[in-house]
């Protein structure tokens, strides 16, 4: 079944707006947030023409093959850092449910900080953006992109990116996927600010205990990913024994 306004109206018991084509669902959600959208409101698009990823990158959402959704939340300021965890964890748990029915075992994990991996390749990413009025938090948007049946074969992403359907070996309805995902988002949104959320996210990090290279705005760090700090920062021990606390960056194993 296709993703469309009628199906979503029947299935989503929450304020939502559906766009067959959008620039970025995060931009639309931020505008709606400033216009007074209640917490839990969602923007969904079939296609994004200027989807955005982390670190200033683009995010492709061709029509008919992916899920692009942005959830508006009104978190307490001191829980803001947990929104990325909330997004990645919710996606990973949704994929767990789908993978349980797969004819073969498929691993689901999170690569620090927020890439969700299926069978070791990136299937989904999370982009959190917040709105401020001076130093007052107006709210935040958790943008999630999932590759459902995006064909990466023959592209330079083929060895890094994957889609849900070919990986699980069966069709996945995007409306069902969205409904399941929002249930997990609601579950964790009700637990924002708790240590349990960070614990559940940490338990799924495939990065920990591995030798990694992390590129940050301050430089490149190589060493052992030892753990995560209070706000979800990566604790990396370099070959000289120095422990670095890395808040953002691009991570590669090895």
Chain residues that interact with ligand BTN, rule: CB under 6 A: 24-26, 48, 51-54, 57, 59, 68, 70, 115, 125-127, 143-145
- Edge-first strand order for the sheet with 42-48 is 16-22, 42-48, 66-73, 136-147, 121-133, 115-118, 108-111
Q: How far is CA 121 from CA 43, 90, 115, in A?
A: 26, 17, 9
**Of residues 12 and 224, the one with the C-beta less far from ligand BTN:** 12
Residue partners of 51: CB distance under 8 A and separation at least 6: 24, 25, 58, 59, 60, 61, 68, 145
In whole angstroms, the minimum distance from the beta carbon of 217 to ligand BTN comes to 16
In whole angstroms, the minimum distance from the beta carbon of 46 to ligand BTN comes to 12
**Of residues 60 and 223, the one with the C-beta less far from ligand BTN:** 60
Q: Which residues pair with 70 in a beta bridge?
A: 43, 143
In whole angstroms, the minimum distance from the beta carbon of 126 to ligand BTN comes to 6
Residue partners of 149: CB distance under 8 A and separation at least 6: 64, 65, 66, 163, 164, 165, 166, 172
In whole angstroms, the minimum distance from the beta carbon of 68 to ligand BTN comes to 4
Kindly report whether the peptide bond that precedes residue 113 is cis, defined as omega within 30 degrees of 0. yes
Shortest CA distance to 21 belongs to which of 53, 50, 56? Answer: 50
Sign of the CA dihedral with 12 first, then 17, 21, and 25 last:
negative
**Of residues 14 and 170, the one with the C-beta less far from ligand BTN:** 14
Q: Which residue is nearest to ligand BTN (CB)?
A: 125
**Of residues 47 and 93, the one with the C-beta less far from ligand BTN:** 47
**Of residues 125 and 223, the one with the C-beta less far from ligand BTN:** 125
In whole angstroms, the minimum distance from the beta carbon of 22 to ligand BTN comes to 8
In whole angstroms, the minimum distance from the beta carbon of 47 to ligand BTN comes to 11
In whole angstroms, the minimum distance from the beta carbon of 43 to ligand BTN comes to 8
Shortest CA distance to 85 belongs to which of 208, 239, 203? Answer: 203
**Of residues 26 and 41, the one with the C-beta less far from ligand BTN:** 26
Separation of CA 239 from chain center: 31
**Of residues 52 and 198, the one with the C-beta less far from ligand BTN:** 52
Residue partners of 156: CB distance under 8 A and separation at least 6: none
């Amino acid at each position: 079944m296709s993703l469309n306004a009628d199906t979503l109206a029947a299935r989503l018991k929450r304020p939502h707006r559906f766009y067959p084509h959008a620039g970025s669902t995060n931009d639309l959600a931020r505008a709606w947030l400033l216009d007074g959208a209640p917490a839990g409101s969602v923007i969904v698009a079939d296609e994004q023409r200027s989807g955005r990823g982390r670190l200033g990158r683009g995010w492709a959402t061709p029509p008919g093959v992916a899920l692009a959704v942005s959830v508006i939340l009104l978190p307490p300021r001191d829980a803001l850092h947990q929104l990325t965890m909330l997004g990645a964890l919710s996606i990973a748990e949704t994929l767990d449910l789908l993978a349980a029915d797969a004819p073969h075992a498929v691993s689901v994990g999170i690569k620090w900080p927020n890439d969700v991996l299926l069978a070791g390749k990136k299937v989904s990413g999370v982009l959190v953006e917040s709105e401020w009025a001076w130093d007052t938090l107006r709210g935040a948007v958790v943008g999630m992109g999932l590759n459902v049946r995006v064909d990466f074969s023959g592209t330079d992403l083929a060895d890094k990116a994957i889609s849900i359907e070919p990986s699980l070996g069966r069709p996945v309805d995007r409306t069902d996927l969205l409904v399941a995902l929002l249930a997990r988002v609601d579950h964790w949104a009700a637990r924002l600010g708790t240590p349990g959320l960070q614990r559940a996210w940490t338990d799924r990090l495939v990065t920990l205990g591995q030798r990694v290279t992390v590129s940050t705005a301050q430089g490149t760090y190589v060493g052992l990913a030892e753990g995560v700090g209070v706000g979800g920062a990566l604790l990396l021990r370099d070959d000289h024994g120095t422990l670095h606390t890395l808040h953002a960056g691009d991570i590669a194993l090895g």
